[in-house]
Structure 1
């Protein structure tokens, strides 16, 4: 459950950090000591919000916005070394000269768990497993089936599976379950283990005054358990191919627009089911996070639909989204739903009016403010107290890299606006964000570390060198946590 509504969480000025768990160092996974070390750093720094990207298992491109599931956790986050304490793995098995793969080690641990060879501590036992399985049955069984089949198919994409598997023939699926009990049990165990370790981390974070802030991509990957198991809720043809796909027209991030390729929802079918699939998705995320951002919020008002036959973004067109009807269903089901709207890009008055009707905080980004217009909403003097301010997002260059890439005129404008020479960049931008009237200021960890373009996490519209940056504590300047804490305290944001 969440620890309060968004109004409760943002009633005080707070500072936070943006860092995806994949960035954390950890040879056996990150949800154990590595994540706790980061929480300790946050607490020492006066930071009370840890924002991540989506946590789901990814495709080979590693994008957390194209996950295999809208509900599942990424098993690569699981810290295998924690399983030694549970009696399910030994240190020799982790450090042997020719170590087994993560899947082999998890299979070994799962076998021991189901044979009651573990210590059964703190709910990590058969009772806890059965409770997890029962409360997550609305997505877990389909996900395990999807991943189990995927592991055994030469072509992992479900469109290329044999027709009886692609189309979920009941007899074929029943036979697959009967023949793959061990495999499916291991996949279920992985999800139980992920959620157990995540909840332990969440408890640890709360005890340190740190809250967790998650991210929901508005669309899901075509090659996902969600689309495979719910084809009627998406705009697909009779073979499962998308008839139209998601993207955006030209904007700040991409002058040619972006072709995301995600299948689009059949919102009429969604509405007929009372938006069941979406409400279940929100339920999953409420059990993981204290705040939740909806990425590409403007897609609820209207979304960019690109015909599959003409896949260039410029051939797309705006289609009305479910808007008020959908959000009313969400808040009727979850009155305390702690949503934040990502309202970046091409945003019209209609999108902002929708956001404000439901009192959702929006986003401002310091890097977007310097186009020369004093009316730019991202400039410090135009910020609003209920919103969030970022130095940059996961899609931006680092603030130092951004600053160094500016032309001389814009760089001088930035310096003049901030009243600084720019020699200590990115700290003038961080200080400005902390000074903002926005309730919550979020800074990517790369900016706190003062890193340049080499530490950029993602470049929209490209497919290489994304999502791979790793945090190296040795690159942090001496006393960084103290420097951050003093700045947070100076601007009334200290936790």
Structure 2
């Protein structure tokens, strides 16, 4: 995908217009694919699509393998005669067409999906059994875990009764019997999710549009991954973390960032030939055409923080698996299209790892205009085997950045990119990315729409108010597609 010049749009599923409160794999998703085709784009990049937990972040999922039930389309279920229009047409999914109300989605959609399950049990029995067999590596543990979440009033698994928390055999048997119906509900949900996603992906691929997915390096502490595979994490004999993930103090944070994810037991993973990770990547290969791996530098060295600390100050750098991991990956799975998220301060060792792996790195244009230092993110420093972004999901929108950034940084961007108000600062930034030598250029949908900070997807290190932006249906105009296509053609990316 990086052999030739091309481009794409970063636009998460949640942001797709929908009459039912949140983006889905329904009609509007297919219309977005049509828009990508009209505008000459070859790539659709999305955020992780796993089931989200507290905080609604796609980077904190209940599973590295499962899909988010919110993305199942209600009209598709209706066409399959699993629900009637009366089951959902008058429900209140939220009154703001530009913002997801996750509380209402959780309450309303869950109830409707249970109706669909009850109608699907006999109708799709054989297909669901086949799906379960094809996904046996993870579906049994995940469906039991989700059923147990309901049984224990949504508490984290670390707060469950001791016997099931530690996965004692008798407890597993007991709850599998007791929660059989609930387990089967969650298996059906995954069956339907993967069915709908594969059809949407095929539609995109048939139009020569590739899907770029996203994998967080770490998993959530409260996830089926940590509960069912506790031995591959640095946990004590009660399955509580010994060390957790984060990053050290820097110019942006005096105390560093405390993410709280459990760290991997890389020594044990190496002895197992990285089996869990290889299964994880293999699962994602089936979902996407290319994978962005978040926090790539963590494979070289990671910041290890004592569990219980309130900040990241007392952490220390610990060596990661390095090329041993990527060599095992390539040996088992062959060539994989991967983008290495290599943002931030990089040591020589991390740069060497990226070079040895052969994966392209990222360039973020919004990071280029820091007047305090010469920036590697300025386009004249790029190489063609890289991916340039106007900004990522963690950045402000371009027009928001212009309102909030330091005046001297804004002036540097205007001088460097020859920006004008007539063209639009957002379009000038997109031009800067599209005209660069990077073979792949990506911009957020918000930047094509000239939106300000209210449409920002995420502000790192904050809880609440994130991951909510939704696009208006009328935003995808013929004139916008024509304008994007013209710029894409001009800079040899068509």
What is the CA–CA distance in structure 1 between the aligned matches of 2:86 and 2:461, rounded to whole Å?
44
Note closer, same or farther for the CA distance 1:477–1:208 as it changes in structure 2 (3 Å cut): closer
Note closer, same or farther for the CA distance 1:253–1:289 as it changes in structure 2 (3 Å cut): farther
What is the CA–CA distance in structure 2 between the aligned matches of 1:428 and 1:331, rounded to whole Å?
39
Alignment of structure 1 residues 169-184 onto 2, 5 Å: 169-184=168-183
The match for 1:30 among 18, 24, 31 is 24
Does residue 443 (structure 1) correspond to residue 443 (structure 2)? The answer is yes
Asked if the contact 1:369/1:377 (under 8 Å) is kept, the reply is yes
Q: Deviations over 1:323-342 (max 9, x none)?
A: 01111111111112111100
The match for 1:95 among 86, 89, 96 is 89
Asked if the contact 2:92/2:108 (under 8 Å) is kept, the reply is no
What residue number does 2:104 align with? none
The two structures, once aligned, show a CA RMSD in angstroms of: 1.8
Asked if the contact 1:254/1:460 (under 8 Å) is kept, the reply is no
What is the CA–CA distance in structure 2 between the aligned matches of 1:27 and 1:178, rounded to whole Å?
38
What is the CA–CA distance in structure 2 between the aligned matches of 1:39 and 1:177, rounded to whole Å?
41
Alignment of structure 1 residues 272-291 onto 2, 5 Å: 272-291=271-290
Asked if the contact 1:251/1:346 (under 8 Å) is kept, the reply is no
Asked if the contact 2:52/2:62 (under 8 Å) is kept, the reply is yes
What is the CA–CA distance in structure 1 between the aligned matches of 2:254 and 2:9, rounded to whole Å?
29
What is the CA–CA distance in structure 2 between the aligned matches of 1:441 and 1:468, rounded to whole Å?
25
Asked if the contact 2:419/2:425 (under 8 Å) is kept, the reply is no
Does residue 111 (structure 1) correspond to residue 118 (structure 2)? The answer is yes
What residue number does 2:237 align with? 238
What residue number does 2:263 align with? 264
User: How far 1:110 moved relative to its partner?
Assistant: 1.9
What residue number does 2:80 align with? 86
What residue number does 2:479 align with? 479
What is the CA–CA distance in structure 2 between the aligned matches of 1:155 and 1:386, rounded to whole Å?
45
What residue number does 2:101 align with? none
User: How far 1:82 moved relative to its partner?
Assistant: 0.1
> Comparing 215-224 with 310-319, which one deviates more in the overlay?
310-319
What residue number does 1:10 align with? 2
Alignment of structure 1 residues 133-148 onto 2, 5 Å: 133-148=132-147
User: How far 1:420 moved relative to its partner?
Assistant: 2.5
Asked if the contact 1:155/1:161 (under 8 Å) is kept, the reply is no
3-state SS, counterpart of residue 479 of structure 1: helix
What is the CA–CA distance in structure 1 between the aligned matches of 2:474 and 2:249, rounded to whole Å?
39
User: How far 1:154 moved relative to its partner?
Assistant: 2.9
Asked if the contact 1:24/1:35 (under 8 Å) is kept, the reply is yes
3-state SS, counterpart of residue 88 of structure 2: helix
User: How far 1:103 moved relative to its partner?
Assistant: 2.5
Note closer, same or farther for the CA distance 1:130–1:252 as it changes in structure 2 (3 Å cut): farther
What residue number does 1:427 align with? 427
What is the CA–CA distance in structure 2 between the aligned matches of 1:290 and 1:45, rounded to whole Å?
20
What is the CA–CA distance in structure 1 between the aligned matches of 2:316 and 2:11, rounded to whole Å?
34
Note closer, same or farther for the CA distance 1:296–1:98 as it changes in structure 2 (3 Å cut): closer
What is the CA–CA distance in structure 2 between the aligned matches of 1:391 and 1:230, rounded to whole Å?
38
What residue number does 2:99 align with? none
What is the CA–CA distance in structure 2 between the aligned matches of 1:101 and 1:417, rounded to whole Å?
49
3-state SS, counterpart of residue 336 of structure 2: coil
What is the CA–CA distance in structure 1 between the aligned matches of 2:431 and 2:254, rounded to whole Å?
30
User: How far 1:175 moved relative to its partner?
Assistant: 1.6
Q: Deviations over 1:211-236 (max 9, x none)?
A: 10001100000000000011111111
What residue number does 1:164 align with? 163
User: How far 1:256 moved relative to its partner?
Assistant: 3.7
What residue number does 1:39 align with? 33
User: How far 1:453 moved relative to its partner?
Assistant: 0.8
Mark the runs of 5 or more structure 2 residues left unpaired by the alignment.
Answer: 94-106
Asked if the contact 2:91/2:108 (under 8 Å) is kept, the reply is no
3-state SS, counterpart of residue 138 of structure 1: coil
Alignment of structure 1 residues 450-461 onto 2, 5 Å: 450-461=450-461
What residue number does 1:19 align with? 11
Does residue 366 (structure 1) correspond to residue 373 (structure 2)? The answer is no
User: How far 1:311 moved relative to its partner?
Assistant: 3.4
What TM-score comes out, normalization by structure 2 length?
Answer: 0.93
Does residue 62 (structure 1) correspond to residue 56 (structure 2)? The answer is yes
What TM-score comes out, normalization by structure 1 length?
Answer: 0.93
Does residue 208 (structure 1) correspond to residue 207 (structure 2)? The answer is yes
Does residue 320 (structure 1) correspond to residue 319 (structure 2)? The answer is yes
What is the CA–CA distance in structure 1 between the aligned matches of 2:252 and 2:399, rounded to whole Å?
17
Q: Deviations over 1:392-443 (max 9, x none)?
A: 0110111111122233322222111112235511111100100011011000
User: How far 1:191 moved relative to its partner?
Assistant: 0.3
Say how many residue pairs are matched: 478
3-state SS, counterpart of residue 182 of structure 2: helix
Asked if the contact 1:267/1:322 (under 8 Å) is kept, the reply is yes
What is the CA–CA distance in structure 2 between the aligned matches of 1:88 and 1:150, rounded to whole Å?
25
What residue number does 1:52 align with? 46
Asked if the contact 1:249/1:257 (under 8 Å) is kept, the reply is yes
User: How far 1:88 moved relative to its partner?
Assistant: 1.4
> Comparing 367-376 with 51-60, which one deviates more in the overlay?
367-376
Asked if the contact 2:147/2:182 (under 8 Å) is kept, the reply is yes
Note closer, same or farther for the CA distance 1:253–1:458 as it changes in structure 2 (3 Å cut): farther
Note closer, same or farther for the CA distance 1:98–1:425 as it changes in structure 2 (3 Å cut): closer
Note closer, same or farther for the CA distance 1:98–1:388 as it changes in structure 2 (3 Å cut): closer
